[in-house]
Each structure stands twice: as structure tokens, then as C-alpha cells.
């Protein structure tokens, strides 16, 4: 039986996710091998894969050829990016890296352009009638006229350089320091990350909302699954409108009136997706089954289950 090989690009610290893929092998008839690559030769996730390689930074001119060599010598069948920068790199070099029927687990270029730019995303949401916070960009819109606000990098991820704007003084300071930031109306309510897996035809096969109970440095530390039907319906509609395929994590806030506001679309696995996997939404297995041409297993989600994350250590002994 042929062994199918999956390469995880920019694996870094995603140990629990790689382990979830390792665990899912036992439930699939096909054989799989997991290859993790990262620019940091000591990245912990490299230890969780079957094979691993270090790679130059995406900004290094030799990165593409190095990745192509790995793909050719290891006969890689699919590449799964684990960061936005990895997605952008695959998108830029889509033609070179998808040779030989290799699958790049990324969205179409137009969808990436929308979702990786928070200003483009806000305009898309408004045009399509999905609720999202009022959003301002100094170069293209009037100054904000509401407070509080949240300032974000236009193309950032993980909450980097994000801050709360309480009044005009805060706004003036932030506009001068971060002129390219976007400024969004701060919505108060329950924060959700919603894990989605859609098949290659764009049909959502799994939608699992997770309430973010505590967050550290942009990463969810404690979450609770809440199979809220209204959120699931809205996310399904958005997923179909964008034609999403593969794994994605969509973020939003449910306010006190019951209105759900979309805030971010991560076109990749979210940091807390392992909660969905542990609760019965086995996305790694679904990816295996899709690659092997098998039918998807029916998912039974443990509603109201809670995840509490903690740091782990991986040791390298000479």
C-alpha cells in the first residue's frame, strides 16, 4: 500500500496538532507519513513528526528551492501551512509547489487576499451582509467617531501590536505610532473561535464553535465548546459564500443581544483546534480520509466540553 506524505510548513510549536495527526493514523486504512519543516532547527514540533527538516526563512531567496528539494526527494503529496506567512508563501509560489498533483491545503488567491487583510475583510463583510465591527483605515476612511476601539495590524496575526483605544487621546497617539493599523469598534461579549472543515467542493463537513474563556498572547488557553445553532448557521453561510475548503478557524463575538459579529478569518488550523479534535471533530482523520478517497466518518461532538492548556517541554539530549 502506498504511503501518503503530508508536509507541515512552519510547524514551530504546534506539537499537539502534529500529535493529533499521529493519533488519527490508527483510524484510517491508508498509510501516512508526517514531515514537519521550520526555519528553527530546534522547533519542538519537529520532534513530533515522523521526519523533519529545517528550512531557510520565507524571506530568504533560497527558501523556495530548499522546499522544492524536500518535496521532490520525499515525494510529498500535500502541504499544510500552519501560519499566515506560510499560506502567503504557498500562494506566491502556488504554480511551482503544486507540481505533480501535489495538493496545497490553501484557499484560492482571491479568498486569501480578502481574509489576510482586515480592511478588505471588513469591506467584504459589509458588502455581503455579515455582521462585523465598524472598521476604519486612516488612508481610506473618515477618522473613527466611536469609542472604545481596538487597534490591530492590518495583516497581522496572533494579536501582535494590538491595543485598546479608550478615548481621543489614545487614538491620536496610536494613529501617529501605527498609521497603517486598522481601528475597529470594540464589541463586548463572548469571544468564539469556530473550527471549520470543508471538503474539496466547498461543503462544510464540520463546524464547531469554541468559546474562548481565557487567552494569553493571542493564544487560547481555556475554551468551552458550545454548539450554538445560530453561530453554526452563520459560519456555514460565510464558508459557502467564500468557497472555503480544508481546515479554517473563524473568530467572532456574540454580544449581549445575541448578535454574532465576525472579527477574523484564519485560513488554517487555529491554536485551539485540538479541543475540537479531542471532543470528536477529528479533522486530521477527515483530511486523511479525503486524501485516501474514503468516506468521512460521522462526527459526534461532546458539547460543553472544556479544554485547559498548559506549557510542555521537549528535551534534546546529545
38-79 tens-digit pLDDT: 999 999 999 999 999 999 999 999 999 999 999 999 999 999
How far apart, in whole angstroms, are the C-alpha atoms of residue 306 and residue 275?
8
Contact 190, 260 (CB under 8 A): no
Structural domain including 233 reads 188-308
Whether 301 and 193 share a structural domain: yes
Q: Is residue 196 part of a domain?
A: yes
Whether 150 and 201 share a structural domain: no
What pLDDT is stored for residue 233 in this prediction?
Answer: 98
What pLDDT is stored for residue 219 in this prediction?
Answer: 87
Question: Would you say residue 214 has pLDDT above 70?
Answer: yes
Whether 63 and 144 share a structural domain: no
- Which of 157, 185, 213 represents a domain boundary (last residue)? 185
Question: Would you say residue 300 has pLDDT above 70?
Answer: yes
What pLDDT is stored for residue 118 in this prediction?
Answer: 95
Which tens digit of pLDDT belongs to each residue from 31-47? 999 999 999 999 999 99
- Which of 86, 106, 126 represents a domain boundary (last residue)? 106
Q: Is residue 125 part of a domain?
A: no
Q: CATH number of the domain at 290, please.
A: 3.30.470.20
What pLDDT is stored for residue 75 in this prediction?
Answer: 96
Q: Is residue 315 part of a domain?
A: no
Whether 294 and 208 share a structural domain: yes
Q: Is residue 157 part of a domain?
A: yes
| 172-176: Cβ within 8 A, 24+ apart | 175/138, 175/143
What pLDDT is stored for residue 316 in this prediction?
Answer: 85
What is the number of alpha carbons within 13 Å of residue 278 lying toward its C-beta? 17
How far apart, in whole angstroms, are the C-alpha atoms of residue 60 and residue 67?
12
Q: Is residue 127 part of a domain?
A: no
Total domain count for the chain? 3
Q: CATH number of the domain at 168, please.
A: 3.30.1490
- Give the least confident one: 115-129, 150-164, 214-228: 150-164
Whether 200 and 254 share a structural domain: yes
Residue in 90, 75, 82 with CA at minimum distance from that of residue 32: 75
pLDDT band at residue 162 under the 50/70/90 scheme: confident
Q: Is residue 318 part of a domain?
A: no
Whether 181 and 227 share a structural domain: no
Q: Is residue 117 part of a domain?
A: no
Whether 102 and 144 share a structural domain: no
Whether 166 and 195 share a structural domain: no
Q: CATH number of the domain at 29, please.
A: 3.40.50.20
Whether 59 and 143 share a structural domain: no
Whether 208 and 295 share a structural domain: yes
What pLDDT is stored for residue 237 in this prediction?
Answer: 98
Q: Is residue 317 part of a domain?
A: no
Contact 104, 79 (CB under 8 A): yes
Whether 100 and 141 share a structural domain: no
Whether 167 and 197 share a structural domain: no
Amino acid at each position: 500500500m502506498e504511503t501518503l506524505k503530508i508536509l507541515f510548513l512552519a510547524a514551530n510549536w504546534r506539537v499537539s496538532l502534529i500529535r493529533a495527526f499521529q493519533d488519527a493514523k490508527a483510524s484510517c486504512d491508508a498509510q501516512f507519513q508526517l514531515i514537519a519543516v521550520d526555519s528553527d532547527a530546534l522547533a519542538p514540533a519537529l520532534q513530533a513528526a515522523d521526519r523533519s527538516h529545517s528550512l531557510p526563512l520565507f524571506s530568504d531567496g533560497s527558501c523556495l528551492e530548499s522546499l522544492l528539494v524536500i518535496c521532490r526527494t520525499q515525494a510529498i503529496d500535500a502541504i499544510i501551512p500552519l501560519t499566515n506567512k506560510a499560506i502567503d508563501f504557498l500562494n506566491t509560489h502556488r504554480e511551482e509547489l503544486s507540481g505533480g498533483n501535489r495538493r496545497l491545503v490553501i484557499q484560492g488567491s482571491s479568498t486569501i487576499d480578502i481574509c489576510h487583510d482586515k480592511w478588505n475583510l471588513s469591506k467584504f463583510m459589509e458588502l455581503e451582509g455579515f455582521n462585523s465591527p465598524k472598521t476604519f483605515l486612516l488612508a481610506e476612511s473618515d477618522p473613527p467617531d466611536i469609542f472604545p476601539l481596538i487597534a490591530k495590524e492590518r495583516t497581522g496575526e496572533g494579536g501582535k501590536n494590538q491595543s485598546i483605544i479608550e478615548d481621543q487621546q489614545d487614538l491620536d497617539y496610536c494613529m501617529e505610532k501605527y498609521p497603517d493599523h486598522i481601528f475597529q469598534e470594540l464589541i463586548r461579549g463572548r469571544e468564539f473561535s469556530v473550527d471549520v472543515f470543508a471538503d474539496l467542493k466547498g461543503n462544510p463537513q464540520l463546524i464547531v464553535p469554541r468559546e474562548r474563556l481565557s487567552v494569553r498572547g493571542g493564544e487560547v488557553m481555556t475554551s468551552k465548546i458550545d454548539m450554538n445553532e445560530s453561530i453554526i448557521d452563520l459560519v456555514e453561510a460565510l464558508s459557502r459564500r467564500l468557497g472555503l475548503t480544508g481546515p479554517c478557524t473563524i473568530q467572532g463575538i456574540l454580544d449581549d443581544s445575541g448578535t454574532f459579529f465576525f472579527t477574523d478569518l484564519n485560513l488554517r488550523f487555529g491554536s485551539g483546534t485540538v479541543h475540537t479534535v479531542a471532543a470528536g471533530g477529528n479533522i486530521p482523520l477527515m483530511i486523511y480520509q479525503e486524501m485516501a478517497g474514503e468516506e468521512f466518518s460521522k462526527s459526534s461532538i461532546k458539547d460543553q466540553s472544556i479544554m485547559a492548556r498548559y506549557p510542555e517541554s521537549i528535551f534534546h539530549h546529545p
